[in-house]
Amino acid sequence: MGMDTDHVVVTGLGATTPLGGDVASTWSALLAGRSGIGPIEEEWAAGLPVRIAGQLAVEPTAVLDRVQARRMDRCEQVALVAAREAWADAGRPAVDPERLAVVIGTGTGGALTMLAQDDVLEASGVRRVSPHTVPMLMANGPAAWVSIELGARGGAHTPVSACASGAEAIAMGLDLIRLGRADVVVAGGAEACIGALPLAGFAQAKAHSTRNDEPQRASRPFDVDRDGFVIGEGAAVVVLERAEFAAARSARAHATLAGAGVTSDAFHITAAHPEGQVRAMRLALASAGLPPEAVGHVHAHATSTPKGDLVEAQSIGEAVGTHPAVTATKSMTGHLFGAAGSMGALAAILAVRDGVIPATQNVDTLDPEIKLDVVTGSPRRASLSAALTNSFGFGGHNASLVFTPAP
């Protein structure tokens, strides 16, 4: 089966984010320009240089079975919440379990469980450590829980590529369908690592914004005064289907996943190299069979770091051009790390479907070195024939996805 005949459509969307407990509330908040970033009120944050985050709008324990939730790390909980919504949105496809695969990426997996259980071990000894510790901390836990929930036997995969994980998961889903290994793939990313150690580490690396007194204005992609990202948590999941399979069951599609490009910089553990980003975007366009001129919208990775935003802006200009309308929703959600790529995909899919691009918040003064058409102020109406979304992660991981309207 060749790429041209093997179209892949998005039939289900699910999310739980700092803006809302589902897709509808998250999308309406993005279009309204609302921020999900606020102060961390817990005691453990009191002495930290960073005391702000994009915390979940709805606790996963409010919707999950209490006993089940206690046996899951927070990143597993959010993955299951988002996957359930996406599966229901897709109409719960009747698919051969061996032709159903799951791909859920994460950056840190069950880091909070590991840290908490280490505290228990130190304070109270081995007998107090939870017997569920290992399945709660393992990075493949989110994919495993989702596969169990849905009865998926076609593989449960976990790309771990820092902030590119969620996008790489969706790219892998595209591959699985194009290679004829699955008819339906549940793909996305999940992250929940808002804790003292991650925040202290990011603060020491000078990567995180320290605007503790202005949480909602702290994440400011492309702004001349940006000073780092803001940590966020959540999950976004999509249901991908072979177009013929979806058509045979008369499924409604939100959009088409037209192409994906995945590259690595082989350059530096934290610094990005523009060449790898440019190649990812070009590979995604080639995979989609589209010229750069077809792209009307780019959902930028744009985390609000001084260097990162500039490198990406230059890469977009080189690979796609300066004509697309560009937005950066991390200005409202914060940086969801392993879920950032799938959150970006969600925003791009909805922009294509609904013909509207959310505005980037907090761009008081566009960095004069950034030569892009950044959407600011209010959302922009646009009839899009293609949208591209970028995700770049520590380690030199790059993933770009291209979405086009539903067939």
47: helix, strand or coil: coil
The H or E element that residue 318 is part of is helix 306-319
CA pair distance 65, 68, nearest whole angstrom = 5
Tracing tokens 């067939």 back to the chain, one arrives at 407
- CA–chain centroid gap for 361, Å, is 18
β-pairing verdict for 184-191 and 234-242: antiparallel
Measured CA distances, 258 to 83, 182, 276 (Å): 22, 17, 20
The pair of structure tokens assigned to 344 is 């970006």
Indicate the burial class of 310 (C-beta count within 10 angstroms; 0-12, 13-18, 19 or more).
Answer: middle
Q: What is the DSSP string of 120-136?
A: HHHHH-GGGS-TTHHHH
Positions annotated as catalytic residues are 163, 301, 335
Residue 112 amino acid letter? L
Q: Is 182 within 8 Å of 336 (Cβ atoms)?
A: no
Which residues share a beta bridge with 404? 256
Measured CA distances, 245 to 107, 252, 253 (Å): 32, 12, 12
